[in-house]
Amino acid sequence: MQKPFYKKKRYKFLFVLLALILSFIIYFKIIVILTLPVISDTSALKLKRNKIDNDFYSLDNSWLKKNKYGLWELYISGNDFELGAKNGILTKELIEYQEEAFVEKIKEMIPSEFYLNFLKYFVSWFNKDMDEHIPLEYQREIYGISLNASEEYDFIAPGYHRILNYHAAHDIGHALQNMNLVACTAFGVKDSRSKDSTLLIGRNMDFYSSDKFAENKIIAFYKPENGYNFVFITWGGLIGVLSGMNDRGLTVTLNAAKSSIPSSAKTPVSILAREILQYASTIEEAYEIAKNYEIFVAESFLIASAKDKQIAVIEKSPDNIGLYKRDDDEIILTNHFQGKTFKNSKLTIENKKESGSVYRWERTEELLKEKEKHNVNSFVAILRDTKGKGNKNIGMGNEKAINQLIAHHSVIFKPEQLQIWVSTSPYQLGEYLAYDLNTIFSDSLDYTKEIYDTSLTISTDPFKSSEDFRKFNKYKKITTLLKEYLDRESIYPIDEAYLEKYRKLNPEYFYTYFMIGEYYSNLKNKDKAIEYYNIALEKEIPKQSNVDLIMEKIKIINEEN
C-alpha cells in the first residue's frame, strides 16, 4: 500500500520546514510587539487646528506657520502627550511629506521588494526593545504624534512603531557612514577669541537623505510642563534633538564618531540630546544625564553652557564615556574623538586615518586662525566654505569640505544672549534668520507677525546665484542619470562630448572621474576606464575606502588583460 503523500520523506521535510517558518513568524510577531504607552488624559486629541492664513495654523495656545524664507516655525506647550498630540495635529501634512521622502530614499537605495521586506523585518527585530530605552515621557509624546501619522505606510508598521523607529535614523545613518549620510562640523569660541567675549557656537548638520527630505525644515519652540523651554531644528515627526538651545543658555549639537557594528538598539542619540536640552543647565548636569544612558553608536555631544561660560564635548560610545575640554578659547569638532578616554582607541585611530574628519578639522582650524576674534558673520563665512586646506579647489560636494552642499541645516548660537541663527534653503546658502528666546517665550510675543529679528538677518551667500552653483545642480542631476544608466543591463555608448560637458561641471571632484571611469568600465573600454580612474586618484579623495575601491577596480581590469 502506498504511503500518504504527507508521510513521504520529502514531504515530511517540507512540513517540518513550514512548521518552523510559521513558528518563527508567530514568535517574531510576539517578540517585536512594542507596548503602547498608557495615556490617562487624551483630551488633547479633541483639539482642532484653526487656519489663520495659507501655511499658518493655530491650536489652543500652540501654532505653526511658514515664514517667507520657507522655514516652518512651530510653537507648542503642554505635558508630554499634549506636546505630541498638538505637534501631530499641527504638522500632519509635514509628517506625511517627511515619511514619503524617507521611504522614497530607501526604495531608491534598495529597489528590490524582497530586500526591502527583509530590511523591514530586520529593523523590527533589531529595534524590538527600543521602547525600553526611551523615557516614558518621550514615548507618550511620540505616541501623541503617531496618532496623526498617515495610514498609507501601515504596511511597514503601525504609526507608533514607525515614528518611534524613525528616531534611530541618525544612528542608522551614522552606522552607514560609508554611504555619506553623516559627516558634520562644529566649532566654538569664547573670551579672547570672541569679539564680544561671549560664547559663540557654529555647526553644519550634514545628515543627508535627499534634497526632498530637507525641504521642510522646522524650527520648533517647546514650552514643556516639565524642564526648561527650548528650541531645536527638526523635521515632521522627530522629537529628538540634533541641534538646539534651552532658555538657560545650554546648547547641544551631535557629531557622529566611528562605531563598531551594533548588535541591538539602545537609546537613540537624538533622544539623549533631547533630555539634556530639556533638563540640563550646566555641562556637569548634561554629563550626568549622558552617563545614565546606553547608546548603540559612538557620538560626540558638543555642549556650551552660558551658566558655566564654557564649551565641552561629551564623548560617548556603547561602552564608555568621557568629557573633553580645551585649555584655550576655541574648540573644533568633526567626526573623531579627541579626549583621553578615546583618542588612543583602535576605532578612533582607524577613523582619523581612513576618513576626511581630520582634514575637515584642520581646515576649520585654518579658517578660525584667519581672524583673531570672531562674530556671527565670520562664523557664517566658515560654515559656507567649500574649499580645501590652503583654499585648494577640491570639487563641489567633497566630504573634506566644511560646506559639502548637503547640509540639512546650519546653525549659530550665542548662548549668553539666548540668540540662535538658523539657515534657510538651500543648505547653508540662504539667509540665516535670528531668533531671540527671550522674545519667543515671553507673554508679549505676537506670533501673527514675524517672530525672527529682521535686523539680524544674515544675507544669502553670493554663491547661491553663481554660475558654479548652477553647474553643481546640473552635475547632481547628470550624476543621478548616469547611475541609473549604469544600473541597466544593456549599456550603449554616450557621446564623448556629453561626458566632457559633465566633467567640466565639477572638474576638481574625484567622483566626476570615478563616474566616467565606471561608464567606460561597463562599456568594456578598459584603457579609458583606467585613464579616468587614475585621474580620480590624483584628486582630493575624502575616504580611504574610496581609494581602495578605485584601486581594486584598476586591479581587476589589469588582471583581465
Q: Over the stretch 458-489, which tens digit does the pLDDT of each residue have?
A: 999 999 999 999 999 999 999 999 998 998 87
Residues 178 and 201 in one domain: yes
Residue 3 lies in a domain: no
Residues 151 and 285 in one domain: yes
What is the C-alpha to C-alpha distance for residues 92 and 72, in angstroms, rounded to an integer?
13
Residues 135 and 221 in one domain: yes
Residues 229 and 315 in one domain: yes
Please count the structural domains in the chain. 2
Residues 321 and 433 in one domain: yes
pLDDT at 175 (0 to 100): 58
Residues 446 and 485 in one domain: no
What is the C-alpha to C-alpha distance for residues 117 and 106, in angstroms, rounded to an integer?
12
**Range of the structural domain that residue 555 is part of:** 467-560
Residues 136 and 270 in one domain: yes
List the grid coordinates of 355.
576618513
What is the C-alpha to C-alpha distance for residues 559 and 561, in angstroms, rounded to an integer?
6
Domain boundary among 462, 488, 517: 462
What is the C-alpha to C-alpha distance for residues 192 and 328, in angstroms, rounded to an integer?
9
Residue 11 lies in a domain: no
What does pLDDT average to in each consecutive run of 10 residues of the chain (561 residues)?
A: 45 48 41 76 94 96 97 98 98 93 73 62 63 92 94 81 82 55 87 98 88 91 98 96 98 90 81 98 98 93 98 96 97 97 94 95 98 98 98 97 96 98 97 98 96 98 98 96 86 90 98 97 94 98 96 94 66
Residue 218 lies in a domain: yes
Residues 391 and 434 in one domain: yes
Contact 516, 506 (CB under 8 A): no
Residue 35 lies in a domain: no
List the grid coordinates of 80.
508630554
Q: Residue 255: which CATH number?
A: 3.60.60.30
Domain boundary among 436, 462, 488: 462
Nearest in space to 124 (alpha carbons), one of 116, 112, 114: 116
Residues 239 and 154 in one domain: yes
Contact 401, 382 (CB under 8 A): no
Q: Residue 485: which CATH number?
A: 1.25.40
List the grid coordinates of 163.
515614528
Question: How far, CA to CA in Å, does 41 sit from each of 46, 49, 188, 443?
Answer: 11, 19, 43, 27
Predicted TM-score (pTM) of this structure: 0.90
Residues 169 and 288 in one domain: yes
Domain boundary among 415, 447, 462: 462
